[in-house]
Amino acid sequence: MPPALIHFISPDYWPLYHHLPSQVRETGDKYFALLKSDPQG
């Protein structure tokens, strides 16, 4: 089994994230929550 990935946010992430359309942010948030809940899935 491969080792778990470590997720981190660069300092440039949040300003760019907040400029995304809300639908894109919501979709990304949904899939990131799914990744966190089942990192092996």
For the question of whether the overall pTM of this predicted structure is more than 0.95, the answer is: no
pLDDT reported for residue 36: 83
pLDDT reported for residue 9: 86
> pLDDT of the chain along its 41 residues, tens only?
667 777 788 999 999 999 999 999 999 999 989 988 876 76
pLDDT reported for residue 7: 74
Cβ–Cβ < 8 Å for 39, 5: yes
Residues 6 or more apart in contact with residue 31 via CB below 8 angstroms: none
